[in-house]
Amino acid sequence: MELKTMMTRTVKTTSPRLRGLKLAALALGTSFVLAGCAGNPPSEQYAVTQSAVNNAVSAGGTEFAPVEMKSAQDKLKQAELAMHDKKYDEARRLSEQAEWDARLAERKAQAAKAQKAVEDAQKAVQELRQEGMRSVK
């Protein structure tokens, strides 16, 4: 069996102008694909923020830091809407802000509770002193 090579010529069928259009269409299509995939949803950040808001509520943030809690909850809602609209950069920014607002509310609530505990302890000590003074007389 003998192999024969066949010499064929390929004919250039596209004109330079058509070739340029094809390249432009390819570049445009690629940019649309890349733009669609440009950002990833900040799902992890959103989950962290939800946890921070829940912790702040549990710590008493709505009672002791209502302004910060409202801000955190509003920003979390805006972040959710931005994610729905695929505005991932905005969603990430809002989610981070909401997380810090929630953490601030939680710390304020903890500080207020600690302050109240100190005041209660001081009051109890004062009452014990007065009781001790009465029994000495």
The pTM of this model reads: 0.64
Q: Is CATH 1.20.1270.390 what the domain over 40-110 is classified as, yes or no?
A: yes
Higher-confidence residue of 11 and 78: namely 78
> CA–CA separation, 137 vs 125, rounded Å?
19
Could you tell me the two tokens for 36?
A: 């669609």
| Domain positions in the chain | 40-110
Which band of pLDDT confidence, cut at 50, 70 and 90, is reported for residue 134? confident
Which band of pLDDT confidence, cut at 50, 70 and 90, is reported for residue 133? confident
> CA–CA separation, 66 vs 120, rounded Å?
23
> CA–CA separation, 130 vs 132, rounded Å?
5
> CA–CA separation, 92 vs 82, rounded Å?
9
Each residue's pLDDT tens digit, 5-15: 656 565 555 56
> Which is nearest to 112 in space by CA: 49, 56, 70, 48?
56
